Amino acid sequence: MSSRVTEPPRPRRNRGYAGTHQKMIETAVTLVSQKGVDSLSIAGLARAMGVNRTTVYYHFDSREALLEEVKRWSSEQLARAFSLAAPQQERIDYLTRFVLENPELIKLWIEGLVSGRDIHQSYPLWDELVEGIRQLSGDGASAQPIDAEVFCINLLVGAIIGPRVFRNSIRPDQGVATIVERFRLEWQRQLRLEALLKD
């Protein structure tokens, strides 16, 4: 008789789990973009993907869990705009275009930002952004030191809300490309004034 203890078998996920999970998030993002946050449901996602609700519930135990994943995805897209991996002009253009083309996702993001939740839930790269601004402003080029946290929140809010306000309330006659260019040029000018952008 063996004294070896065996563990109960663990449930296995199928090989396509990660791909299906990501596809569900992307489909949910599309639904929110097209119809608004209130229209997002487990049943609606199942219909859009041509699967049954049980399949969706296998990935998300509730509408709220699905919505959290949509928020996380949006935050990741916005964070890409502040990643130093891409050239600065590309980052500004990407962010402005994303904001203009995804108004429902931006509303969702803003709601999370002003809700009083930890900033890292709305913007996962907050610490890196603040530290990057501290490093860029730390060379003494500015007459008055920059308050990196306040500067970063002004930067985020201006970059996320500004293009929508501009397009909706100031220049609804201008196309996306024109607004993207105008915002890029003005952001570059402001960053030069703060000695945060080198020519």
The two structure tokens encoding residue 159: 């970059």
Flag whether pLDDT at 197 surpasses 60: no
Tell me which residue range forms the domain holding 22: 14-61
What is the value of pTM for the model shown? Answer: 0.74
Flag whether pLDDT at 159 surpasses 80: yes
Flag whether pLDDT at 27 surpasses 60: yes
Q: Within 13 Å, how many C-alpha atoms sit on residue 10's CB side? A: 3
Kindly state whether residues 141 and 55 are assigned to the same domain.
no
More confident residue, 79 or 61: 61
Q: How many domains does the chain contain in total?
A: 2
DSSP-derived secondary structure letter, 140: S
Rg (CA), the chain: 21
Kindly state whether residues 91 and 176 are assigned to the same domain.
yes
Q: Residue 60's closest CA among 46, 48, 50, 74? A: 46
Per-residue pLDDT tens digits for 62-115? 999 999 888 888 888 777 776 667 788 888 899 999 999 988 888 888 888 888
More confident residue, 48 or 86: 48
Kindly state whether residues 82 and 39 are assigned to the same domain.
no
